[in-house]
Chains A and B, each alone.
Chain A
């Protein structure tokens, strides 16, 4: 008998469920798994960066405290800033973009799944490289040390004369690596949105979250490249005898500031625009109304993106630019406030006349609106160059940008977690723990960051490891530190909620919030291919059309 089959001898296959699981996650190119990897990785660094913040706050509880040495304190605020911006905020927002964008445009994956995986692992490697500096920062003799030059790494402090050893090289290389990862992800998000929309999903029907992530991706491409270029120039200065930033050899310390902030300010909008995106999805659903002024919201976002590329030197009002340059950056900075204000008004317009349900995602969204309003107004104060000469580099500006990053970005992210966790896991987060988390965090946040403005007005500069008694700063700093610990308790409640609800949370079903965008039309969690049949949409709210065939949106658009 001729044989065209091969008999395979009975192989003994050992079941290795943990190894298989690990293998699946490490080799995955699925946008949902990569999104969750991004988010999980960022949450780990959120805790690490949070512990660094607590070390800073313990040290500053009272004047002349000696909880840590000045060297350790300087490393802590450098690592805290670098970690929170590059290894918490960016990856967590990329994670949500990765997870949500293909689902919301009815696609089966990102445009370049393998680039997606590559970008994630590059960013992850960057984070590990930064933290390896604790061991290898001095070149592997002695105990090592982390970079201590501040997260701006201003020249000439980062030059070899002032930063011997390799600690600031780890900083440079880790940002270079994660920066390339960010560029890869940005290209991917951009291409996905432009090329993979399902039939009927015209640009003016895309959910606002998708629109805003498109703008964010474009800004990443513009903002990260000068940072990467500057990092390479810094390496050339440090190792190949270059003089880009070496003032003694004709280079310019101010040049580094321009490079850093032409990245640094658009970066703020890279972080806040995806948070505007969360707000623009969550507020309508819990107000039971469509977003107010959709085209205006899109226009305002694009406007913010353009104007924010011309405001960077408002970080440099004290550097000694001439009065014309100072005036220019004053008016551009104030101008960004206009489209941002329009957004706040449109969110209020969305809630106006609605039936607002105060579920946890909505609570965090309302917290965002209040806090972002105040952050914007202190931003106007800082935009007035003369006022900035007093406020800049003081604790007032520290309070201002934490109002943006914690009060704005982190609150929006918490809202996003409570809103999309059911989609990602199939389980609801506990509403009871969610409310504990919200109120603890609101109280801790305001105790810390409202009070933190005042030492700035009283002349307390940032980045000091201790201060003199008798300046009126002691009590205020103690209150700020107490608030930080209340926030830390809030974070513990949140982490416990994430873990406990994964196993014991209520079943979510496909559409727990009665929402309107495409991700809620598939199962929770969605299958690897997202949609069994590619959806076809006829309006901005395809699920509203489905649920209200008598009054579909498509009639009005």
Chain B
């Protein structure tokens, strides 16, 4: 039954590589995920053989040695054990364990202890209830929820190394097609890396239970060509656009509690409790991936965050309709 159920895997599960964003650990797109995938094939082969042998023995013994009515009243030969057989089924498993351990230790060391090359992109990831903060210390970029990293050419790898921190509870960073997961734990900095070899969007989400909205703490990684990435960095480093037409919305934003939590570069807003909004419109989603970044969703989110993400820590701002429209208009200019 278990084996049969493996056939239920969607047909694209084992495809070479799918470009529609999926979260399948069996279609790895980056060295750590590929090493793990290759190890998993080896482990699956060994466990598969063990399963086949023991399963056969079990099925054979329950079908061959079922009681027949003719012999119902007599007892079979009373056998108490055999030292040779016990030794055989002790030593063979020990050998299997040694082989499995050596294969595992090799991958473990290769992935976990990989040195960081000088040209690596460094990103500090800070987990918050219930969103992701990304800071590129060498590039001077601060953004949220949608990570941009350059594609890595296998001939000249430019891996991305993530420093993982937490501002509150435990979280876990997991993009299944790029790497295994690593936890973000307060006061316990962790590290992981990835070197995606194809451009595109890669999805994932927080894997360590972190509170009410653990489910909607989604991850979205955009793997860009080196040119696109450079362009993206250049755009992100600009201060916010000051558009005269939305000065009313800007005023509302700057005179309410919004600025306690949010930053907009080049204005008085410099809170760090919520996502940086300087280039909000460069992102395709809001609320850590819970909704698309459309004016309607933005309006709903500012008016009543619980309607999109119940338990989110952003308070309902209780703005008048006019103020709400003005703020949404202002947000729409933050490209």
Contact = CB atoms under 8 A, between A and B. Distances in A.
B24 A459 contact: yes
Interface stretch (A48-56, A169-177, A223-231, A319-327): A319-327
B108 A330 contact: yes
Interface in A279-302: 287-290, 292-296
Given A331-B97, A349-B81, A461-B174, A373 B43 contact: no
B71 interface: yes
Interface stretch (B118-126, B206-214, B254-262, B297-305): B206-214
Contact of A248 (B8, B187, B203): B187
Most buried by B among A157, A290, A383: A157
Instruction: Provide the main secondary structure of the chain B interface.
Output: mixed
Nearest to A471: B23
B211 A157 contact: yes
Interface string B57-70: 11001100111100
A345 B93 CA distance: 11
Interface string A240-274: 00000001101011100000000000000000000
Interface stretch (B99-107, B137-145, B227-235, B264-272): B99-107
A387 interface: yes
Nearest to B10: A472
Nearest to B51: A377
Contacts of A358: 66
B104 A386 contact: yes
Most buried by B among A322, A355, A453: A355
Interface in B288-323: 289, 310-311
B90 A342 contact: yes
Contact of B180 (A337, A389, A451, A461): A389
A459 B23 contact: yes
Most buried by B among A352, A356, A390, A464: A390
A459 B25 contact: yes
A296 B81 contact: yes
B22 interface: yes
A380 to B, nearest CB: 6
Nearest to A251: B187
Contacts of B225: none
A288 B76 contact: yes
B54 A353 contact: no
A290 B68 CA distance: 19
A390 B36 contact: yes
Interface stretch (A66-74, A105-113, A497-505): A66-74
Contact of B66 (A248, A252, A356, A454): A356
Contacts of B185: 247, 253-254, 319-320
Interface residues of A, number: 99
A134 interface: no
Nearest to A295: B81
A316 B40 CA distance: 19
A357 interface: yes
A446 interface: yes
A462 B207 CA distance: 7
A38 B206 CA distance: 39
A393 B172 contact: yes
A139 interface: no
B65 A458 contact: no
Given A326-B108, A457-B25, A463 B209 contact: yes
A384 B2 contact: no
Given A253-B188, A320-B185, A342-B86, A389 B36 contact: yes
Interface stretch (B109-117, B147-155, B244-252): B109-117
Contact of B76 (A319, A330, A354, A464): A354
Contacts of B109: 323, 327
Given A293-B86, A338-B93, A351-B65, A392 B181 contact: yes
Nearest to A453: B5
B57 A348 contact: yes
Contacts of B55: 370, 373
A129 B297 CA distance: 43
A388 B181 CA distance: 9
Contacts of B62: 351, 356, 366
B176 interface: yes
B15 interface: no
Contact of A327 (B22, B108, B172): B108
B334 interface: no
A156 interface: yes
B21 to A, nearest CB: 9
Given A157-B210, A252-B188, A320-B190, A355 B76 contact: yes
B35 interface: yes
A401 interface: no
A539 to B, nearest CB: 11
Contacts of B8: 451, 454, 476, 479
Interface string B263-290: 0000000000000000000000000010
B88 to A, nearest CB: 9
Given A71-B311, A446-B2, A459-B174, A318 B76 contact: no
A341 B205 CA distance: 36
Nearest to A449: B2
Nearest to A548: B75
A250 B209 CA distance: 22
Interface in A71-126: 71, 74
Given A248-B186, A374-B2, A464 B43 contact: no
Contacts of A250: 187
A247 B187 contact: yes
Nearest to B28: A390
A209 B10 CA distance: 45
Interface in B175-218: 176, 179-183, 185-188, 190-191, 203-216, 218
Most buried by A among B51, B90, B311: B90
A195 B122 CA distance: 65
A465 B61 CA distance: 44
B78 A386 contact: no
A335 B170 CA distance: 30
Contacts of B67: 288, 355-357
Contacts of A464: 205, 214-215
A354 B97 CA distance: 31
* Closest 9 pairs (CB-CB, A-B): A389-B180, A459-B23, A464-B215, A247-B187, A320-B190, A247-B186, A293-B81, A450-B5, A355-B67
Given A71-B212, A335-B97, A351-B65, 14 more contacts: A70-B311, A253-B188, A288-B75, A320-B182, A342-B86, A345-B54, A349-B82, A355-B65, A356-B65, A381-B43, A450-B1, A454-B8, A457-B9, A457-B13
24 contacts: A74-B209, A156-B170, A157-B170, A162-B211, A248-B186, A250-B187, A319-B190, A320-B190, A331-B101, A346-B81, A346-B86, A349-B82, A351-B61, A380-B46, A381-B44, A386-B108, A387-B36, A388-B180, A390-B33, A393-B207, A451-B8, A458-B13, A459-B204, A468-B289
